Chains A and B, each alone.
Chain A
Amino acid sequence: MTYRPELLATASSLEELSRLLAAGADAFVIGESRYGTRLAGEFTREMMKEAVSLAHAEGARIYAAVNNIIDNALLPDLPDYVAFLHEAGVDAIVFGDPAVLMAAKAHAPGMALHWNTEMTSTNYATAEYWARRGATRYVLARELNMEQIEDTKAKSKLEIQVQVHGMTNIYHSKRSLVQSYLEHKEDPERIPDAELERGLYMMEADRPDERYPIYEDESGTHVMSSSDICMLENMQELLAAGVDSFKIEGIMKPIEYNERVISAYRKAIDAYLADPAGYRFQEEWLDSIKELQDPKRELSYGFFYKEQVY
Chain B
Amino acid sequence: MTTGTKTKPRYQGKRNRLDRPELLAPAGNLEKLKFAIHYGADAVYIGGQKYGLRSNADNFSFEEMREGVEFANRYGAKVFVATNIYAHNEDIEGIEEYLRKLEEVGISAIIAADPIIIETAQRVAPKLEVHLSTQQSTMNWQAVKFWKDEGLPRVVLARETSFEEIEEIKKNVDIEIEAFIHGAMCSSYSGRCVLSNHFTDRDSNRGGCCQSCRWKYDLFVDDAPMYEQGEDQFTMGSKDLCMIEYMPELIEVGVDSFKIEGRMKSIHYVATVVNVYRQAIDAYFADPEGYVLKREWVEEINKAANRPLNTGFFLDTPGTEDHIYGPEDKAAPYDFAGIVLDYDDCTGFATLQQRNHFKVGQEVEFVGPGGTFFKQTVTELTDEAGASLDVARHPMQVVRVRTLKPVKAMDMMRKKIR
CA distance A220 to B325 in the complex (A): 19
CA distance A205 to B225 in the complex (A): 12
Question: Which of A43-51, A143-151, A268-276 is the interface stretch?
Answer: A143-151
A42 CB-CB contact with B under 8 Å: no
Task: Type the 1/0 row for A179-203, where 1 means its CB is closer than 8 Å to any CB of B.
Answer: 1110111000011000000111111
A306 CB-CB contact with B under 8 Å: yes
What are 5 residue pairs bridging A and B, where the CB atoms are less than 8 Å apart in the complex?
A: A74-B140, A99-B143, A129-B115, A148-B88, A180-B3
With both beta carbons as reference points, the residue of chain B lying nearest to A103 in the complex is identified as B142
B287 CB-CB contact with A under 8 Å: no
A83 CB-CB contact with B under 8 Å: no
CA distance A296 to B220 in the complex (A): 13
Q: How far is the CB of A162 from chain B (nearest CB, A)?
A: 14
Q: Are B192 and A70 in contact (CB under 8 A)?
A: no
Query: Size range of the interface on B?
Result: 35 or more
Interface residue ranges, A against B (CB under 8 Å): 69-72, 74-75, 78, 97-99, 101-103, 118-120, 122-126, 129-130, 141, 143-144, 148, 151-152, 155, 170-181, 183-185, 190-191, 198-205, 207, 211-212, 214, 220-221, 223, 225-226, 296, 303, 306-310
Interface residue ranges, B against A (CB under 8 Å): 1, 3, 55, 86-92, 113-116, 119, 135, 137, 139-143, 145-147, 158, 160, 165, 168-169, 187-189, 191-195, 197-199, 201-208, 213, 215-223, 226-227, 229-230, 232, 234-236, 238, 313, 317-320, 322-323, 325
CA distance A219 to B140 in the complex (A): 15
Pick from B89, B113, B219, B320: contact of A183, CB below 8 A. B320
CA distance A177 to B113 in the complex (A): 26
Q: Are A309 and B143 in contact (CB under 8 A)?
A: no
Q: Are B86 and A308 in contact (CB under 8 A)?
A: no
CA distance A125 to B94 in the complex (A): 13
Contacts of B217 in A (CB 8 A): 202-204, 212
Contacts of B188 in A (CB 8 A): 171-173
Contacts of A148 in B (CB 8 A): 88-90
Other CB < 8 Å A-B pairs besides A310-B204, A310-B206, 11 of them?
Answer: A69-B137, A72-B168, A97-B143, A98-B143, A122-B114, A122-B205, A125-B89, A141-B86, A172-B192, A175-B236, A203-B217
Q: Are A123 and B87 in contact (CB under 8 A)?
A: yes
Q: Are B221 and A198 in contact (CB under 8 A)?
A: yes
> What 5 pairs across the A-B complex have the smallest Cβ distances?
A310-B208, A99-B142, A98-B146, A125-B116, A310-B206
Q: Are B234 and A71 in contact (CB under 8 A)?
A: no
Instruction: Say yes or no: A180-B323 contact (C-beta < 8 A), given A97-B140, A124-B89, A172-B188.
Output: yes
Pick from B88, B89, B114, B218: contact of A155, CB below 8 A. B89
Contacts of A72 in B (CB 8 A): 139-141, 165, 168-169
Contacts of A70 in B (CB 8 A): 139-140, 142-143
Q: Are B193 and A119 in contact (CB under 8 A)?
A: yes
Q: Are A126 and B232 in contact (CB under 8 A)?
A: no
Q: Are A98 and B86 in contact (CB under 8 A)?
A: no
Pick from A69, A144, A175: contact of B139, CB below 8 A. A69
Q: Are A171 and B87 in contact (CB under 8 A)?
A: no
Contacts of B197 in A (CB 8 A): 143, 170, 303, 308
Q: For A101, A175, A176, which residue has the most chain B Cβ atoms within 10 angstroms?
A: A175
Contacts of A204 in B (CB 8 A): 199, 215-217
Q: Are A170 and B195 in contact (CB under 8 A)?
A: yes
Contacts of A125 in B (CB 8 A): 87, 89, 92, 116
Q: Are B320 and A180 in contact (CB under 8 A)?
A: yes
Q: For B3, B116, B198, B207, which residue has the most chain A Cβ atoms within 10 angstroms?
A: B198
Contacts of A191 in B (CB 8 A): 221
Contacts of A78 in B (CB 8 A): 142
Contacts of B92 in A (CB 8 A): 123-125
CA distance A141 to B192 in the complex (A): 11
